[in-house]
Amino acid sequence: MPVYNADKLAVLRQLMLEKAQAEKQAIQLELEHKRAAQLEKVKDQALQDAYQVIQSQRGNISVQAVSALSQKSGELRKQLIRQRDNYAQAVFDEVKSRLEAFSAGKEYGKYLENSLQNAAASGLFDKNKETLLRVSARDLQRKEEIQKAFGFPCCVKADETIELGGFIAESREKGIALDRTLDQKLEQQKEWFYGNSGFLVEASF
């Protein structure tokens, strides 16, 4: 069995202590690196979670803003439509009043005569077949004048849907109907008004 003197033992003990210290420092350094890496990973995850929360909130805010804007636009559009319709109704009430006055005046008889003659000359109706002429109840008193102006065999009947005047000529054999009522002319003017008056309803932001 070898024998070590005191000096050799002291040197050996010092070497062992230094080795142990070096290993301890190495372990501590490795632990610090792992701790730093883990902390960085946690930070990255936290930042990612925060970003997702912010984006989610931002999306909710955007949806709410668009929804509120869309609702406001819809309400304004409805308001503009009501104003337009009220104005149009006032205009056409005035036009209707004038047409009623016209059909009750002296010039209406000549107008009706010319319209009937033009219908007969259109070639749509057979002069050898009876044509049905539908007129307002008020114009039934003009029955003989209507038959004379049309010139072809015809049957004159009242139509409650005709309020303002004029007539609807029907050929049952040909399956055609010619609407020459003042009521129809008023409706055509309404269509023209909404299409060409410039009262287009737009409400956008």
Answer whether 201's CB lies under 8 Å from 84's CB.
Answer: yes
Strands (E), 2-145: 131-135
Q: 3-class SS at 37?
A: helix
pLDDT tier, 95 (very low <50, low <70, confident <90, very high otherwise):
confident
Q: 3-class SS at 10?
A: helix
Q: What confidence score (pLDDT) does residue 78 get?
A: 78
User: Quick check: 205 pLDDT over 50?
Assistant: no
pLDDT tens figures, 36-60 = 677 677 666 766 766 676 666 666 6
User: Quick check: 172 pLDDT over 70?
Assistant: yes
User: Quick check: 102 pLDDT over 50?
Assistant: yes
Q: What confidence score (pLDDT) does residue 5 get?
A: 61
Selected residue with higher pLDDT from 61 and 146: 146
The least confident of 7-16, 31-40, 79-88 is 7-16
d(CA 153, CA 192): 35
pLDDT tens figures, 115-145 = 999 999 999 999 899 999 999 999 999 999 9
CATH class of 89-196: alpha beta
Q: Which residues contact 129 (CB under 8 A, 6 or more apart)?
A: 152, 153, 171, 173
Selected residue with higher pLDDT from 191 and 58: 191
Q: Is the pTM of this model over 0.75?
A: no
- Tokens in use for 192? 């023209």
